[in-house]
Amino acid sequence: MSDPLPERQISDEQVEAYRAFYTELIGFVPPRIAARTDMLARVDPELLEMQETLRAKAMYPECFDVKTSQLILFGILLGLLSDATRLHAIAARRAGATWEELNAVVGLAFLFRGLPAANLGAQILQELADMER
């Protein structure tokens, strides 16, 4: 059976170059990012390039190191109860965040989002600890 999607307009190597950032940051390419990079490589590679350039610029301001950026993103996403929270917790940990720092972010999110954020944050930290065992 043939693929119902159009063929990629950019090389597999270019798609993998976009994805390499995520592998370096969190250790794997999340499924939604894999889907986005694949779809845009097929239908709008210019938009894919723009998205990845903008993401890199916004995610890594010169005034923050990677760990700080990832801790901030962890907190923002935790406050939104987003499923992407886990990915940025992994990235923060890989960038050197301690359990104390991650837990402090959970406490900050709790102040403005309540027990749902505290519960999700604790669950994510427990899952990360299990992954590291």
Classify residue 32: in a domain, yes or no. yes
* The predicted structure's pLDDT at residue 100: 98
The burial class, CB within 10 Å (0-12 / 13-18 / 19+), for 49 is: middle
Domain of 73?
Answer: 66-132
* Same domain, yes or no: 76 and 35: no
* Same domain, yes or no: 47 and 74: no
**How many domains are there within the chain?**
2
CA distance 3 to 76: 38
* Same domain, yes or no: 81 and 39: no
* Same domain, yes or no: 72 and 37: no
Classify residue 6: in a domain, yes or no. no
CA distance 99 to 96: 10
pLDDT (tens, 9 = 90+) of the chain, 133 residues, equals 778 999 999 999 999 999 999 999 999 999 999 999 999 999 999 999 999 999 999 999 999 999 999 999 999 999 999 999 999 999 999 999 999 999 999 999 999 999 999 999 999 999 999 999 9
Signed CA dihedral, 74, 78, 79, 81: sign only: positive
* The predicted structure's pLDDT at residue 5: 94
* The predicted structure's pLDDT at residue 87: 97
* The predicted structure's pLDDT at residue 1: 73
* Same domain, yes or no: 55 and 94: no
Instruction: Estimate to the nearest angstrom the gap between the alpha carbon of 85 and the chain centroid.
Output: 8
